[in-house]
Protein backbone atom coordinates (compact mmCIF):
# COMPACT_ATOMS: atom_id res chain seq x y z
CA UNK A 1 0.00 0.00 0.00
CA UNK A 2 1.37 3.43 -0.94
CA UNK A 3 2.14 5.87 1.81
CA UNK A 4 -0.48 8.51 2.56
CA UNK A 5 0.02 11.96 1.04
CA UNK A 6 -0.04 15.02 3.26
CA UNK A 7 -0.18 18.57 1.88
CA UNK A 8 0.95 21.41 4.12
CA UNK A 9 -0.26 24.71 2.69
CA UNK A 10 2.10 27.35 4.04
CA UNK A 11 5.75 26.48 4.67
CA UNK A 12 6.31 28.99 7.47
CA UNK A 13 6.82 28.42 11.18
CA UNK A 14 3.86 26.11 11.73
CA UNK A 15 4.28 24.44 8.33
CA UNK A 16 7.87 23.42 9.09
CA UNK A 17 6.98 21.95 12.46
CA UNK A 18 4.00 20.15 10.92
CA UNK A 19 6.30 18.56 8.35
CA UNK A 20 8.77 17.47 11.03
CA UNK A 21 6.05 15.85 13.14
CA UNK A 22 4.26 14.15 10.22
CA UNK A 23 7.55 12.67 8.99
CA UNK A 24 8.80 11.65 12.41
CA UNK A 25 5.51 9.87 13.07
CA UNK A 26 5.65 8.27 9.60
CA UNK A 27 2.13 9.49 8.86
CA UNK A 28 2.90 9.78 5.14
CA UNK A 29 4.87 11.63 2.48
CA UNK A 30 4.76 15.38 2.86
CA UNK A 31 4.49 18.24 0.37
CA UNK A 32 5.38 21.64 1.81
CA UNK A 33 3.57 24.19 -0.37
CA UNK A 34 4.10 27.95 -0.44
CA UNK A 35 3.62 30.84 -2.87
CA UNK A 36 5.93 31.10 -5.90
CA UNK A 37 8.08 33.77 -4.22
CA UNK A 38 8.80 31.32 -1.41
CA UNK A 39 9.17 28.14 -3.44
CA UNK A 40 12.92 27.89 -2.83
CA UNK A 41 12.36 28.50 0.87
CA UNK A 42 9.85 25.61 0.91
CA UNK A 43 12.27 23.38 -1.02
CA UNK A 44 15.13 24.27 1.30
CA UNK A 45 13.10 23.55 4.40
CA UNK A 46 11.96 20.24 2.89
CA UNK A 47 15.55 19.27 2.06
CA UNK A 48 16.73 20.08 5.58
CA UNK A 49 13.90 17.92 6.96
CA UNK A 50 14.76 15.06 4.56
CA UNK A 51 18.39 15.17 5.68
CA UNK A 52 17.09 14.98 9.24
CA UNK A 53 15.62 11.58 8.32
CA UNK A 54 19.10 10.05 8.15
CA UNK A 55 19.64 10.96 11.78
CA UNK A 56 16.16 10.27 13.11
CA UNK A 57 15.46 7.31 10.85
CA UNK A 58 12.17 8.02 9.10
CA UNK A 59 11.43 7.02 5.51
CA UNK A 60 8.84 9.66 4.68
CA UNK A 61 9.68 11.89 1.72
CA UNK A 62 9.38 15.65 2.21
CA UNK A 63 9.34 17.94 -0.80
CA UNK A 64 8.79 21.66 -1.32
CA UNK A 65 6.69 23.15 -4.10
CA UNK A 66 4.65 26.11 -5.27
CA UNK A 67 2.72 24.04 -7.80
CA UNK A 68 -0.74 22.89 -6.78
CA UNK A 69 -0.47 20.01 -9.27
CA UNK A 70 1.97 18.37 -6.83
CA UNK A 71 -0.82 18.20 -4.25
CA UNK A 72 -3.07 16.13 -6.47
CA UNK A 73 -4.67 13.29 -4.52
CA UNK A 74 -3.61 14.43 -1.02
CA UNK A 75 -5.33 12.50 1.78
CA UNK A 76 -4.94 15.39 4.23
CA UNK A 77 -4.23 19.09 3.80
CA UNK A 78 -3.28 21.28 6.74
CA UNK A 79 -3.62 24.97 6.01
CA UNK A 80 -1.49 27.65 7.66
CA UNK A 81 -1.36 29.96 4.65
CA UNK A 82 -1.64 33.58 5.69
CA UNK A 83 -0.02 36.00 8.07
CA UNK A 84 0.35 35.46 11.81
CA UNK A 85 -0.44 38.04 14.50
CA UNK A 86 1.94 40.74 15.65
CA UNK A 87 1.87 42.20 19.16
CA UNK A 88 -1.27 44.28 19.71
CA UNK A 89 -3.28 42.50 17.00
CA UNK A 90 -6.29 40.30 17.62
CA UNK A 91 -6.92 37.26 15.44
CA UNK A 92 -9.89 39.09 13.94
CA UNK A 93 -7.56 41.87 12.77
CA UNK A 94 -6.12 39.37 10.26
CA UNK A 95 -9.36 38.86 8.35
CA UNK A 96 -8.70 41.39 5.57
CA UNK A 97 -5.33 39.83 4.71
CA UNK A 98 -6.13 36.16 5.27
CA UNK A 99 -9.60 36.06 3.65
CA UNK A 100 -8.34 36.29 0.03
CA UNK A 101 -5.60 33.79 0.91
CA UNK A 102 -7.99 31.13 2.26
CA UNK A 103 -10.23 31.68 -0.78
CA UNK A 104 -7.28 31.09 -3.11
CA UNK A 105 -6.24 27.98 -1.15
CA UNK A 106 -9.79 26.60 -1.08
CA UNK A 107 -10.30 27.10 -4.83
CA UNK A 108 -7.09 25.18 -5.55
CA UNK A 109 -7.83 22.46 -3.00
CA UNK A 110 -11.23 21.96 -4.63
CA UNK A 111 -9.51 21.50 -7.98
CA UNK A 112 -6.50 19.40 -7.01
CA UNK A 113 -7.38 17.45 -3.86
CA UNK A 114 -11.15 17.50 -3.40
CA UNK A 115 -11.14 14.27 -1.37
CA UNK A 116 -8.69 15.50 1.28
CA UNK A 117 -9.60 15.97 4.92
CA UNK A 118 -8.78 19.64 5.50
CA UNK A 119 -7.54 21.01 8.80
CA UNK A 120 -7.48 24.81 8.91
CA UNK A 121 -5.14 26.69 11.25
CA UNK A 122 -5.11 30.15 9.59
CA UNK A 123 -6.73 32.90 11.63
CA UNK A 124 -9.31 34.18 12.36
CA UNK A 125 -9.81 30.44 12.63
CA UNK A 126 -13.55 29.86 12.83
CA UNK A 127 -14.28 32.27 9.96
CA UNK A 128 -11.46 30.88 7.79
CA UNK A 129 -12.71 27.32 8.15
CA UNK A 130 -16.25 28.49 7.30
CA UNK A 131 -14.90 30.17 4.17
CA UNK A 132 -12.95 27.03 3.19
CA UNK A 133 -16.14 24.95 3.31
CA UNK A 134 -18.14 27.62 1.47
CA UNK A 135 -15.65 27.85 -1.42
CA UNK A 136 -14.90 24.12 -1.76
CA UNK A 137 -18.44 22.91 -1.07
CA UNK A 138 -16.84 19.90 0.65
CA UNK A 139 -18.92 17.61 2.91
CA UNK A 140 -19.27 19.14 6.37
CA UNK A 141 -17.25 16.42 8.07
CA UNK A 142 -14.28 16.77 5.71
CA UNK A 143 -13.08 20.09 7.10
CA UNK A 144 -12.34 21.18 10.65
CA UNK A 145 -10.52 24.00 12.33
CA UNK A 146 -7.68 23.40 14.76
CA UNK A 147 -8.14 25.50 17.86
CA UNK A 148 -9.76 23.45 20.61
CA UNK A 149 -6.91 20.94 20.92
CA UNK A 150 -4.45 23.83 21.31
CA UNK A 151 -6.58 25.89 23.67
CA UNK A 152 -7.25 22.76 25.75
CA UNK A 153 -3.52 21.98 25.80
CA UNK A 154 -2.79 25.44 27.16
CA UNK A 155 -5.54 25.11 29.77
CA UNK A 156 -4.33 21.64 30.78
CA UNK A 157 -0.75 22.86 31.24
CA UNK A 158 -1.79 25.73 33.51
CA UNK A 159 -4.03 23.35 35.55
CA UNK A 160 -1.20 20.79 35.88
CA UNK A 161 1.28 23.43 37.06
CA UNK A 162 -1.15 25.02 39.54
CA UNK A 163 -2.24 21.65 40.99
CA UNK A 164 1.32 20.30 40.98
CA UNK A 165 0.30 17.13 39.11
CA UNK A 166 1.45 15.36 35.96
CA UNK A 167 0.28 16.89 32.69
CA UNK A 168 -0.56 13.33 31.62
CA UNK A 169 -3.49 13.15 34.04
CA UNK A 170 -5.19 16.47 33.26
CA UNK A 171 -8.31 16.32 31.08
CA UNK A 172 -10.04 19.45 29.85
CA UNK A 173 -12.10 20.75 26.96
CA UNK A 174 -12.01 24.29 25.68
CA UNK A 175 -14.94 24.99 23.39
CA UNK A 176 -16.33 27.91 21.38
CA UNK A 177 -14.50 30.23 19.01
CA UNK A 178 -10.71 30.61 18.95
CA UNK A 179 -10.77 34.04 20.52
CA UNK A 180 -10.91 35.85 23.83
CA UNK A 181 -14.44 34.49 24.45
CA UNK A 182 -13.45 30.80 24.23
CA UNK A 183 -15.14 28.53 26.77
CA UNK A 184 -12.98 26.38 29.07
CA UNK A 185 -15.51 23.85 30.42
CA UNK A 186 -14.70 23.79 34.14
CA UNK A 187 -17.43 21.25 34.82
CA UNK A 188 -15.45 18.73 32.77
CA UNK A 189 -11.93 19.64 33.88
CA UNK A 190 -10.51 16.75 35.88
CA UNK A 191 -7.31 15.14 37.08
CA UNK A 192 -8.05 11.66 35.73
CA UNK A 193 -11.73 11.97 36.61
CA UNK A 194 -11.32 13.86 39.91
CA UNK A 195 -12.71 17.41 39.52
CA UNK A 196 -9.92 20.01 39.23
CA UNK A 197 -11.78 22.08 41.83
CA UNK A 198 -10.71 19.45 44.40
CA UNK A 199 -7.13 20.67 43.99
CA UNK A 200 -7.42 24.29 42.83
CA UNK A 201 -9.34 27.13 44.51
CA UNK A 202 -12.08 28.85 42.48
CA UNK A 203 -10.19 32.15 42.13
CA UNK A 204 -7.07 30.34 40.88
CA UNK A 205 -9.16 28.37 38.38
CA UNK A 206 -10.68 31.60 37.12
CA UNK A 207 -7.19 33.07 36.69
CA UNK A 208 -6.26 29.98 34.64
CA UNK A 209 -9.35 30.48 32.46
CA UNK A 210 -8.33 34.11 31.86
CA UNK A 211 -4.74 33.16 31.03
CA UNK A 212 -5.94 30.44 28.62
CA UNK A 213 -8.18 32.90 26.77
CA UNK A 214 -5.19 35.16 26.21
CA UNK A 215 -2.77 32.23 25.82
CA UNK A 216 -1.96 32.92 22.17
CA UNK A 217 -1.50 36.65 22.77
CA UNK A 218 0.88 36.00 25.66
CA UNK A 219 3.23 34.21 23.24
CA UNK A 220 2.77 36.82 20.48
CA UNK A 221 3.84 39.49 22.97
CA UNK A 222 6.93 37.50 23.95
CA UNK A 223 8.05 36.39 20.47
CA UNK A 224 6.65 39.07 18.15
CA UNK A 225 4.89 36.34 16.16
CA UNK A 226 2.46 33.59 16.97
CA UNK A 227 3.12 30.18 18.49
CA UNK A 228 4.04 27.21 16.34
CA UNK A 229 5.13 24.12 18.27
CA UNK A 230 1.88 23.42 20.16
CA UNK A 231 -0.32 24.53 17.22
CA UNK A 232 1.49 22.07 14.93
CA UNK A 233 1.25 19.19 17.43
CA UNK A 234 -2.46 19.90 17.88
CA UNK A 235 -3.17 19.78 14.14
CA UNK A 236 -1.10 16.61 13.77
CA UNK A 237 -3.19 14.96 16.52
CA UNK A 238 -6.24 15.67 14.35
CA UNK A 239 -4.54 14.45 11.14
CA UNK A 240 -3.37 11.29 12.89
CA UNK A 241 -6.88 10.60 14.21
CA UNK A 242 -8.14 10.78 10.61
CA UNK A 243 -5.31 8.85 8.94
CA UNK A 244 -5.29 6.05 11.54
CA UNK A 245 -9.07 6.04 12.05
CA UNK A 246 -8.54 6.53 15.78
CA UNK A 247 -12.06 7.82 16.60
CA UNK A 248 -10.54 10.32 19.03
CA UNK A 249 -12.83 12.70 20.90
CA UNK A 250 -11.20 16.06 20.23
CA UNK A 251 -12.43 19.62 20.53
CA UNK A 252 -12.52 20.87 16.91
CA UNK A 253 -14.05 23.79 15.06
CA UNK A 254 -16.77 21.70 13.40
CA UNK A 255 -19.75 22.63 11.25
CA UNK A 256 -22.87 22.99 13.36
CA UNK A 257 -26.17 22.06 11.81
CA UNK A 258 -28.39 22.51 14.84
CA UNK A 259 -26.01 21.04 17.44
CA UNK A 260 -25.90 23.12 20.63
CA UNK A 261 -28.65 25.24 19.00
CA UNK A 262 -26.41 26.77 16.28
CA UNK A 263 -26.79 26.57 12.53
CA UNK A 264 -24.40 27.14 9.63
CA UNK A 265 -21.47 28.04 11.87
CA UNK A 266 -18.10 26.52 12.75
CA UNK A 267 -17.12 26.73 16.42
CA UNK A 268 -15.20 24.50 18.76
CA UNK A 269 -17.19 21.50 19.99
CA UNK A 270 -16.28 17.97 21.09
CA UNK A 271 -16.21 15.70 18.06
CA UNK A 272 -15.12 12.20 17.12
CA UNK A 273 -12.42 12.27 14.45
CA UNK A 274 -11.76 9.12 12.42
CA UNK A 275 -11.47 7.91 8.83
CA UNK A 276 -14.69 9.78 7.98
CA UNK A 277 -13.23 13.10 9.18
CA UNK A 278 -15.42 14.76 11.80
CA UNK A 279 -17.73 11.81 12.23
CA UNK A 280 -19.95 12.90 15.11
CA UNK A 281 -20.41 15.94 17.32
CA UNK A 282 -21.05 15.18 20.97
CA UNK A 283 -23.59 17.48 22.58
CA UNK A 284 -22.31 17.49 26.15
CA UNK A 285 -24.39 19.01 28.93
CA UNK A 286 -23.27 22.54 29.74
CA UNK A 287 -24.10 24.61 32.80
CA UNK A 288 -26.17 27.77 32.29
CA UNK A 289 -23.10 29.95 32.59
CA UNK A 290 -21.16 27.80 30.08
CA UNK A 291 -24.13 28.05 27.70
CA UNK A 292 -24.08 31.84 28.07
CA UNK A 293 -20.32 31.95 27.41
CA UNK A 294 -20.75 29.75 24.32
CA UNK A 295 -23.50 32.08 23.05
CA UNK A 296 -21.20 35.09 23.47
CA UNK A 297 -18.36 33.30 21.70
CA UNK A 298 -20.63 32.13 18.85
CA UNK A 299 -21.92 35.70 18.38
CA UNK A 300 -18.40 36.99 18.08
CA UNK A 301 -17.51 34.30 15.50
CA UNK A 302 -20.72 35.08 13.59
CA UNK A 303 -19.77 38.76 13.35
CA UNK A 304 -16.48 37.86 11.61
CA UNK A 305 -18.26 35.36 9.33
CA UNK A 306 -20.71 38.13 8.42
CA UNK A 307 -17.78 40.36 7.41
CA UNK A 308 -16.52 37.54 5.15
CA UNK A 309 -19.95 37.03 3.64
CA UNK A 310 -20.16 40.75 2.77
CA UNK A 311 -16.68 40.79 1.23
CA UNK A 312 -16.81 40.06 -2.51
N1 LIG B 1 -0.76 29.93 -0.43
C2 LIG B 1 0.14 29.26 0.27
N3 LIG B 1 0.89 29.81 1.24
C4 LIG B 1 0.72 31.10 1.49
C5 LIG B 1 -0.22 31.88 0.79
C6 LIG B 1 -0.98 31.25 -0.24
N7 LIG B 1 -1.90 31.91 -0.95
N8 LIG B 1 -0.16 33.15 1.27
C9 LIG B 1 0.77 33.15 2.24
N10 LIG B 1 1.32 31.92 2.38
C11 LIG B 1 2.39 31.47 3.26
C12 LIG B 1 3.43 32.54 3.55
O13 LIG B 1 4.28 32.78 2.43
C14 LIG B 1 4.16 31.95 4.75
O15 LIG B 1 5.30 31.19 4.38
O16 LIG B 1 1.94 31.10 4.56
C17 LIG B 1 3.11 31.02 5.38
C18 LIG B 1 2.74 31.40 6.81
O19 LIG B 1 3.86 31.18 7.59
P20 LIG B 1 4.28 32.14 8.81
O21 LIG B 1 4.28 33.56 8.34
O22 LIG B 1 5.55 31.61 9.40
O23 LIG B 1 3.05 31.99 9.84
P24 LIG B 1 2.76 30.82 10.88
O25 LIG B 1 3.32 31.17 12.20
O26 LIG B 1 3.12 29.50 10.27
O27 LIG B 1 1.15 30.99 11.02
C28 LIG B 1 0.29 30.82 9.93
O29 LIG B 1 -1.51 30.15 11.38
O30 LIG B 1 -1.84 30.34 13.69
C31 LIG B 1 -2.11 30.87 12.43
O32 LIG B 1 -2.41 33.20 12.94
C33 LIG B 1 -1.58 32.26 12.31
O34 LIG B 1 -2.82 32.77 10.32
C35 LIG B 1 -1.53 32.43 10.82
C36 LIG B 1 -1.16 31.03 10.34
Nearest to 188 by CA among 201, 212, 170: 170
Asked if the structure places residue 13 within a domain, the reply is no
CA of 11 to the centre of ligand 1 (A): 7
> What mean pLDDT comes out for the span 189-204?
96
For helices 125-136 and 95-112, what crossing angle results, to 10°? 40
Burial class (CB in 10 A: 0-12, 13-18, 19+), 306: exposed
Nearest to 215 by CA among 249, 178, 248: 178
Ligand 1 lined by 13 (C-beta under 6 Å): yes
> Catalytic residue at 178?
yes
CA of 286 to the centre of ligand 1 (A): 35
pLDDT per residue over 107-116, tens digit each? Answer: 999 999 999 9
- pLDDT category at 38 given cuts 50, 70, 90 is very high
d(CA 145, CA 213): 17
Q: Which of 178, 227, 262, 267 is catalytic?
A: 178
- pLDDT category at 240 given cuts 50, 70, 90 is very high
- pLDDT category at 1 given cuts 50, 70, 90 is confident
What is the span of the domain harbouring residue 155?
75-312
Question: What burial letters (b/e) apply to 88-108, b meaning 16+ CB within 10 Å?
Answer: eeebbebbeebbebbbebbeb
* pTM of the complete model: 0.97
pLDDT per residue over 119-177, tens digit each? Answer: 999 999 999 999 999 999 999 999 999 999 999 999 999 999 999 999 999 999 999 99
pLDDT on residue 222: 96
> What mean pLDDT comes out for the span 298-307?
94
Residue 10 CA: distances (Å) to CA of 74, 102, 105, 176: 15, 11, 10, 25
Asked if the structure places residue 58 within a domain, the reply is no
- State the DSSP H helix or E strand holding residue 48, giving kind and residue range, or none if neither: helix 39-56
Cα torsion at 4, 8, 11, 12 (round to 10°)?
A: -120
Asked if the structure places residue 150 within a domain, the reply is yes
Asked if the structure places residue 68 within a domain, the reply is no
- pLDDT category at 180 given cuts 50, 70, 90 is confident
- Report the number of distinct structural domains present in the chain: 1
Asked if the structure places residue 95 within a domain, the reply is yes
Q: Specify the CATH number for the domain of residue 203.
A: 3.90.110.10
Ligand 1, atom nearest to 123 Cα: 34
Asked if the structure places residue 17 within a domain, the reply is no
Ligand 1 lined by 226 (C-beta under 6 Å): yes
Asked if the structure places residue 2 within a domain, the reply is no
Ligand 1, atom nearest to 38 Cα: 13
Amino acid sequence: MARKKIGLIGAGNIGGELARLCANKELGDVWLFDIAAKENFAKGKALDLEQNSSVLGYDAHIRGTSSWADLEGCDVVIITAGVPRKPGQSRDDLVAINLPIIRDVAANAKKYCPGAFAIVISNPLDAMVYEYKRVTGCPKGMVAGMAGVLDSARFQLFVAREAGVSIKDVRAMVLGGHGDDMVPVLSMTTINGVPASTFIAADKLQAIVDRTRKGGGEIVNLMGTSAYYAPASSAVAMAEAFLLDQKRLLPCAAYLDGEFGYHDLFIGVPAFVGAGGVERIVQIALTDSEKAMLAKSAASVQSVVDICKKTP
